[in-house]
Amino acid sequence: MISAMNSSSSNLPLRSLFEAQHRASRGHIDVPLALRRDRLLRVRRLLDQHGAALSAAVEADFGIRSAHLTEVADLLVLRSSLAHTLKFLARWMRPEKVETPLHLLPSRAFLQRQPLGVVGVVSPWNYPLQLALAPAVTAMAAGNRVMLKPSELTPRTSALMAELIAQSFAADEFCVVQGGPEVAQEFVSLPFDHLVFTGSTETGRKVAAAAAANLTPTTLELGGKSPCILDVSVDMDSAALKIAHGKLLNAGQTCIAPDYVMLPRGQEAAFAEAFGRAVARLFPVIQGNPDYAAIINARQHARLGALLAEAQSQGARLQPVNAPVGPDTSEVARQMLPVLVFDTQPGMKLMQEELFGPVLPVMSYDTLPQAIGYINERARPLALYWFGRDKAAREQVLANTVSGGVCINDTLMHVAHDNLPFGGVGESGWGAYHGVTGFLRFTQQKPVMISSRWARGDLFYPPYGPRFQRAMGWIKWLF
């Protein structure tokens, strides 16, 4: 048995941690509002008291990533989600009355909202606080116990989260499991009541297969190639600024980052110039600037370099964005300069793989249906971005494309909207969380019917004869 511990687990193996949570969940099914709120408030206190230390751990894991970036992209999102959930939790927990059909009156029915039990969360390295704690918070709001497996690629952040969570929660409430791929494989093979995975599509397939052995329902938050469509009516400078922000936040290491741009043919030079101005405004200096994150490790940096080299060897034109550079250190060397890529071909790996870095292919289209057709011939994206002022063109794109989410005239911001679900579709994932959607994702909506003493269900009992025929005739008349 592979052991996976945090300081609250008393060196218990992974299966024992799960079994403790499982027993606790079955012995305490009715989780009251007060306890759910208390658990959420403990998370909020953890963030308030240790936010600076957590940000420092993230920066140490990346090499270069400012506390301001973590505050915006991780902590602010978590605080907003906590505030929203605490505000509406009592309303979300209430049983939902449902209308009873005439032939079952005067009985009544409702949906009773109950915890699923034990929820497993496997989180990635790119936003190691937000993508670990946001689904955990939502699962606890729904009354569940949570086991969290954070990424081994951010070891300092994972270790500090484990320590702080162990100080605030009993292991059978909320615990952190640390370890590498072998531990992750064992983790996703546990018979959770629900499993949340955020990561690549390739790994998501393996997680889904492991969960299927236990009939464990899953929420898979994956990735894909999220397009930006620029309409002929676009304000180029505004669009370029927002695309640059969405692409270069965390140096492109964002699952919903714009992955490629589609713009009207003939606008390539205008976009390149506007994008360059936008980058200069956001990052007056790239290398050495703590607000511009480093690529997480040398392997990922080399992967991006190889994609660019292959594309260039096949005829693509690379246009690095001119930016001042700082001193050459090992961390600065992983602060990859933004690169626009023109003259791409669909067969290039650059156009097939999710980029996850500051590399932005630019494609040209002649007509809007041509752009829509290109998107629809490929796997459905996690996000789609449209820029322009032509409402008819906007509606054409919305009506004729399918994606996990859409943001009009901006990037990324739809994920910060607490009333919008966040999730993928097809190869970009399934299931969604955030807000009430997430609460219901981690909730069993148990249908309950209370039969009235005046109910006449006996009309449908055998033996079937004239009385039954009259009852059926009456029901057919109702319908």
Say if residue 318 is in the same domain as residue 379: yes
Say if residue 121 is in the same domain as residue 49: yes
Per-residue model confidence (pLDDT) at position 4: 38
Q: Report DSSP state, residue 425.
A: -
Per-residue model confidence (pLDDT) at position 331: 66
Catalytic status, residue 152: no
Q: Does a structural domain hold residue 450?
A: no
Say if residue 91 is in the same domain as residue 47: yes
Catalytic status, residue 407: no
Q: Does a structural domain hold residue 75?
A: yes
Q: Does a structural domain hold residue 143?
A: yes
**Cα end-to-end distance, the chain, whole Å:** 59
> Residue 373: how many CB atoms within 10 A of its CB?
12
CATH of the domain at 275: 3.40.309.10
Q: Does a structural domain hold residue 8?
A: no
Pairing of strands 429-430, 218-221: antiparallel
Write down the catalytic residue from 175, 255, 268, 407: 255
> Residue 5: how many CB atoms within 10 A of its CB?
20
Q: Does a structural domain hold residue 464?
A: no
Distance (Å, rounded) from C-alpha 302 to C-alpha 199? 19
CATH of the domain at 146: 3.40.605.10
Say if residue 186 is in the same domain as residue 37: yes
Q: How many domains does the chain have?
A: 2
Say if residue 195 is in the same domain as residue 332: no
Say if residue 436 is in the same domain as residue 414: no
Which residue from 214, 207, 171 is spatially nearest to 190, judged by alpha carbons? 214
Say if residue 67 is in the same domain as residue 202: yes
Say if residue 239 is in the same domain as residue 147: no
Say if residue 351 is in the same domain as residue 203: no
Q: Does a structural domain hold residue 468?
A: no
Residue 386 Rama label (left phi>0; alpha psi -120 to 50; beta) = beta
Q: Does a structural domain hold residue 460?
A: no
Q: Report DSSP state, residue 326.
A: -
Q: Does a structural domain hold residue 43?
A: yes
* Domain range enclosing 158: 14-222+431-444
One-letter amino acid for residue 109 of the chain: A
Per-residue model confidence (pLDDT) at position 329: 58
Write down the catalytic residue from 59, 186, 221, 354: 221
Per-residue model confidence (pLDDT) at position 59: 97
Q: Cα-atom radius of gyration of the chain, to the nearest Å?
A: 26
Say if residue 237 is in the same domain as residue 206: no
Per-residue model confidence (pLDDT) at position 2: 34
Per-residue model confidence (pLDDT) at position 457: 78
Q: Report DSSP state, residue 74.
A: I
Per-residue model confidence (pLDDT) at position 325: 58
Angle at which helices 130-141 and 33-62 pack, to 10 degrees?
A: 170
pLDDT in tens, the chain (479 residues): 233 334 334 456 899 999 999 999 999 999 999 999 999 999 999 999 999 999 999 999 999 999 999 999 999 999 999 999 999 999 999 999 999 988 888 999 999 999 999 999 999 999 999 999 999 999 999 999 999 999 999 999 999 999 999 999 999 999 999 999 999 999 999 999 999 999 999 999 999 999 999 999 999 999 999 999 999 999 999 999 999 999 999 999 999 999 999 999 999 999 999 999 999 999 999 988 999 999 999 999 999 999 999 999 999 999 999 665 555 556 678 999 999 999 999 999 999 999 999 999 999 999 999 999 999 999 999 999 999 999 999 999 999 999 999 999 999 999 999 999 999 999 999 999 999 999 999 999 999 999 988 888 787 889 888 888 888 888 777 77
Say if residue 42 is in the same domain as residue 96: yes
Residue 401 and residue 372 in contact, taking contact as beta carbons nearer than 8 Å: yes
Say if residue 324 is in the same domain as residue 195: no
